[in-house]
């Protein structure tokens, strides 16, 4: 089996109402944007993956990646990872694409990805993850609604200019909800963005003061209170904190996750398979399990990304719930999952592992037409023509013979 066609789409799903994500302070997000990848094989199996996007910045990605993957056996996951890595040497990480390879391989084995990887068929608990900076009046209602619907907690977000305002928003919200219901907090300091507002970037002193001020609020974990590369300060904060410290969602795969592990920086690891890729996520999970640490993937991307991380969560013991992104009236399941046949919705706080082979998602191609634009398509024949045009017929034939010889050895 080999890949014979690569197709890529820009997807832009309008939100019902402008959304002000805490990770881009002051910025009104009006669309859910991502890149959709489709790989087609000579056996008619098709794999999909999606990578979060700000806009159409991946316009030239197809021309870069397609020559690396056309003709490749999609079941050779090690080589697929290597090829994506090779295309990233100049700084463009696209390990989100690995999902499409696992999608095809699991379909070929006629099992879901999680089962192919050795997961268990048990319901996966989820927590409600808000996206805007905590507003006690609004978010206390979200917490109460989440509790009534069986969610396993709610994640609130802080990003104010003063420590006092951050602390007060959490204390006021806690006072309006069940004192025993799990609350998590995301400070979104791992990868600060200052394109509009410029709130302070936390250092160890600010993070420590925040932890001390909310230590009596029954917080299950504090997420990303420091820069994503402050491994030693994370370790110092963890050693002094009675609240569990979480992070590593957008770090550069296993090499950086290993740094957190080496410094004993975190209690809970949150790699997102659409950032880390499957190989590095699974390596991180393996090491986390060995050390008895927590694991709960980041999923704030899109419906395809959420579903891919669901497969990873099926490999865990379910001690920590999976993130379920939902900011009412803006980032809703309908806008998050807009190209799927139907939104992903928990039942009594759980999502069942998919039973269909592969990724197990059903994409609505009419919605892809409504919300997307195909910006790249290439077949093996197209690639051959391109090589002959650029290198000449003789050189192209020599390259083909050389690649065929390498593939057989």
CATH number listed for the domain at residues 3-111+362-408 = 3.30.390.10
Written as six digits, the tokens of 128 are: 């409600």
- Segment holding 261, helix H or strand E: helix 254-262
Query: How many Cβ atoms sit within 10 Å of the Cβ of residue 242?
Result: 9
> pLDDT per residue over 243-301, tens digit each?
999 999 999 999 999 999 999 999 999 999 999 999 999 999 999 999 999 999 999 99
**Burial letters for 269-296: b for 16+ Cβ neighbours within 10 Å, e otherwise?**
bbbbbbbbbbbbbbbbbebbeeeebbbb
Percent of the chain with pLDDT over 90: 91
Q: Is 197 helix (H, G, I), strand (E, B) or coil?
A: coil
Domain 115-351: which topology? TIM Barrel (3.20.20)
> How many angstroms separate the Cα of 331 from the Cα of each of 132, 155, 257, 328?
10, 15, 29, 6
Q: Where in the chain is the domain with CATH 3.20.20.120?
A: 115-351
Q: What is the model's pLDDT at position 311? A: 98
User: Average pLDDT for residues 324-352, to the nearest whole number?
Assistant: 97
Residue pLDDT, tens place only, 120-174: 999 999 999 999 999 999 999 999 999 999 999 999 999 999 999 999 999 999 9
CATH 3.30.390.10 domain locations along the chain: 3-111+362-408
Confidence of residue 305 (pLDDT cuts 50, 70, 90): very high
Model confidence at 195, pLDDT cuts 50, 70, 90, reads very high
Residues 285 and 63 sit within 8 Å (Cβ to Cβ): no
Contact call for residues 31 and 371 (beta carbons, < 8 A): no
User: How many residues in total does the chain contain?
Assistant: 409
Given a cut of 80, whether residue 1 has pLDDT beyond it is yes
Tens of pLDDT, residues 213-232: 999 999 999 999 999 999 99
pLDDT band at 308 (very low <50, low <70, confident <90, very high): very high
């Amino acid at each position: 089996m080999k890949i014979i066609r690569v197709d890529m789409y820009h997807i832009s799903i309008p939100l019902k109402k402008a959304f002000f994500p805490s990770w881009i302070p002051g910025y009104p997000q009006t669309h859910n944007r991502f890149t959709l990848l489709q790989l087609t094989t000579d056996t008619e199996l098709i794999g999909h993956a999606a990578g979060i996007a700000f806009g159409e910045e991946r316009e030239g990605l197809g021309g870069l990646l397609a020559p690396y993957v056309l003709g490749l056996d999609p079941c050779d996951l090690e080589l697929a990872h290597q090829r994506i890595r090779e295309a990233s040497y100049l700084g463009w990480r696209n390990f989100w694409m690995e999902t499409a390879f696992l999608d095809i391989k699991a379909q070929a084995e006629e099992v879901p990805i999680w089962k192919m990887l050795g997961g268990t068929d048990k319901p996966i608990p989820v927590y409600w993850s808000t996206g805007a900076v905590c507003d006690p009046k609004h978010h206390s209602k979200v917490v109460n609604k989440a509790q009534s619907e069986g969610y396993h907690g709610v994640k609130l977000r802080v990003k104010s200019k003063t420590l006092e305002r951050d602390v007060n928003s959490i204390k006021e919200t806690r006072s309006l909800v069940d004192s025993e219901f799990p609350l998590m907090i995301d400070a979104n300091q791992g990868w600060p963005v200052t394109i509009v507002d410029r709130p302070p970037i936390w250092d160890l002193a600010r993070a420590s003061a925040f932890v001390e001020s909310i230590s009596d609020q029954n917080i299950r974990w504090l997420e990303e209170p420091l820069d994503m590369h402050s491994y030693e300060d994370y370790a110092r904060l963890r050693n002094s904190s009675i609240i569990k410290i979480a992070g590593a969602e957008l770090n550069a795969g296993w090499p950086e996750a290993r740094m957190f592990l080496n410094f004993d920086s975190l209690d809970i690891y949150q790699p997102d398979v659409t950032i880390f890729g499957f190989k590095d996520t699974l390596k991180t999970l393996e090491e986390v399990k060995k050390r008895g640490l927590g694991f709960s993937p980041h999923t704030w991307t899109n419906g395809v990304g959420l579903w891919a991380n669901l497969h990873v969560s099926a490999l865990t013991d379910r001690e920590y719930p999976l993130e379920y992104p939902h900011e009412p009236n803006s980032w809703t399941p309908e806008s998050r999952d807009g190209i799927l046949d139907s939104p992903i919705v928990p039942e009594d706080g759980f999502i069942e592992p998919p039973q269909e082979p592969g990724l197990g998602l059903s994409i609505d191609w009419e919605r892809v037409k409504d919300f997307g634009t195909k910006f790249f398509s290439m077949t093996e024949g197209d690639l051959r023509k391109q090589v002959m045009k650029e290198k000449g017929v003789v050189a192209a034939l020599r390259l083909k013979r050389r690649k065929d010889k390498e593939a057989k050895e």
